[in-house]
Chains A and B, each alone.
Chain A
Amino acid sequence: DTEVTQTPKHLVMGMTNKKSLKCEQHMGHRAMYWYKQKAKKPPELMFVYSYEKLSINESVPSRFSPECPNSSLLNLHLHALQPEDSALYLCASSQGTVVTGELFFGEGSRLTVL
């Protein structure tokens, strides 16, 4: 069983809706990540939080807004999304950002934008 928990597992939203994806880990990891994965493609990095501070934003559109309320939680706020934003959104965590490099992934939130 994964120790990174993501909710909801599935989300359908309209282009005018506001919704949030949530991620939680209790491994004491200090780095957390959001990845986006389209069908038959590898995961693509969106954001990295290190010690609760945003350290990397991969030029993600502002309609995606990450938030790290504490070291165990990571949210992704969604607003005014487009149909092409439909994808599997993966949360991951690691002990730190200096490699060992082992990222632990959640099961993902499958997002469909209508």
Chain B
Amino acid sequence: GQQLNQSPQSMFIQEGEDVSMNCTSSSIFNTWLWYKQDPGEGPVLLIALYKAGELTSNGRLTAQFGITRKDSFLNISASIPSDVGIYFCAGPRNSGNTPLVFGKGTRLSVIA
């Protein structure tokens, strides 16, 4: 099945720094989704991408759908303590259909 390789696995950054994480696959995805999960909570959708090359922002978050449709990145600018959590990339498991397959996540820690 399709697999998503997410990196880095974890990050420790200072408050105010910018963050970049990415997700790659050997298969083509038609949709890329980025979720954030706080401890003990369910994942919350941050950004959805539907077209190759698409660049979408949500506040301090920016995500891009790679031209090859095999990768995506998520940037967070000027990090704050509440950015702490696990960030998952996800895409439809089969072309055109849910359910989603998830990357292994990037655990972000922000040092005040």
Contact = CB atoms under 8 A, between A and B. Distances in A.
B65 interface: no
Interface of A: 2, 4, 6, 31, 33, 40-43, 45, 48, 56, 88, 90, 92, 94, 97-108, 110
A33 B64 CA distance: 27
Interface stretch (B13-21, B73-81, B89-97): B89-97
Nearest to B102: A42
Contacts of B40: 88, 107-108, 110
Chain B binding surface SS class:
strand
A42 B88 contact: yes
A98 B50 CA distance: 13
B88 A101 contact: no
Contacts, number: 75
A99 B104 contact: no
The 4 residue pairs across chains A and B that have the minimum distance between CB atoms: A105-B42, A42-B102, A101-B31, A99-B92
27 contacts: A33-B99, A41-B104, A42-B105, A43-B102, A48-B99, A56-B99, A97-B98, A97-B99, A99-B97, A99-B98, A100-B31, A100-B50, A101-B90, A101-B91, A101-B92, A101-B98, A101-B100, A102-B48, A103-B33, A103-B45, A103-B90, A103-B100, A105-B35, A105-B42, A105-B44, A108-B41, A110-B40
